[in-house]
Structure 1
Amino acid sequence: MRIAILEDDLTQSEMLRWVLESVNHKCHCFPTFKGFQTALYRDSFDLVLLDWILPDSSGPKVMNWIRETLHIKVPVLFITSKTDEENIVEALNAGADDYMIKPIRRGELVARVNALLRRAYPELTAPEVFEIAELEFHPKFSTVVRHGKRVVLTQKEFDLALLLFRNLGKPLSRSHIQEAVWGRDTDLPSRTMDTHISRVRSKLGLRPEQGFRLTPVYGFGYKLEQVDHEGKSPSLAKIKRQLAENS
């Protein structure tokens, strides 16, 4: 999963990055709130680790901005040296999902992050096969079955389709998609991603009349939505409930 770390202490942020990347998460560090804001115009994240004190803002202010600005509820874990109950209540009331007191312990950090991700994205704990509409995903075999027939996909096409469905209703940035499907350090021509998107849309029938809409988000990336017969999108909560029911 992609995690944003807002921490101005370089030693602390690198420690957090090292711990989380050791368990296969991908981390991006931001020493200032402004840098994080700028990144969100072109990028997307699955979880945010937020320090209480930043050079250009405070944790609670950043937390309020996240909840007021992002239409997708990204889980936020507060990292703080403050131990007063008043501060903890303030963080939770601002919309934080959890908090940790410094100094951070490796095992606890990994456990809390994974617990937040499981709650926010229940589809990640799905069994070997999960279904949505007429599609069956078999991650173990990199296979998709539609209307009872196997759909022939390349490995990258399957990885892309799985990423989109695991983030149904959520806009994904191009860098998020590239990192998840092709890797962080890959020099990927932009047309390659667009071509794969087009192939996945065609092979899986991701069109409004079939119950799905896969569209570009201008200057950002792509978004897959489930729609009804009138082309309207259900709420994100409803989508998550449907995915959870298949877990």
Structure 2
Amino acid sequence: MKIGLLSSDADTVSLVSQLGYPHDCTHCTSLEELTSLSADGAQLLVLDLDDLLPQADELVELVRRLRPPLATGPAPAVLLLATPAHQDWLWALRQAGAQELLVKPLRRQELALRMDLLMRTAEPAEAQTRVIAAGGFLLDLARLRVTHPQRPELEASLTRKEAELALLFLQNLGRPLSRAFLQEKVWGAEPELPTRTIDTHVSRVRTKLGLQPGHGYRLATVYGYGYQLERLD
């Protein structure tokens, strides 16, 4: 899935990019670039209205074009990031077809929920299983299930964080991943992340996926750095 984001706020860009993983999230710097991305098949557009006040009329027209009332094909979902200062033209945007809005400052869990729901709505029904093959495993990111074609006894349920962490390891076989990288990709900029949170989640992923030498994998600690998943011969 393609996600288009128009915002000049670094924290917003980082947060939306993290929550959109593993989808293709493109940071646009202008309304023209966002229009081009939508024409190229983006399914979700996230618009920070603080960047668009001088272009209010153009934005309303863009949203109206993206979501014509009698559209025969799929239209991108539109999520607005707004403040009370935008109240005068939010109604026009909603009338034009913007489905959702969030009031800034953004709360991570609320943004994650809205984005997930909009992405599921925008995806074609046949694509909503979102099964990704990586490292020999099959990860169903919609149902949060993991299986292995050569190990029929393995079928485990994962939490969202466990699924994101497992995917990072499986897509980076043989590469050491730092704790800072894992935290940024899975937990974002959460300032109060307990020290043992990453270790606990890694341990659960190791157990649920059976990432032990007996199954051909080794998920090991890289002292003073992070973790590395290896696939053994």
Q: Which has the higher contact order (CA 8 A, sep 6+)?
A: 1
Question: Shorter-normalised TM-score: what interval?
Answer: 0.3 to 0.5
TM (norm. structure 1) is 0.43
Taking structure 2 as the reference length, the TM-score comes to: 0.45
Give the number of the structure whose alpha-carbon radius of gyration is greater. 2
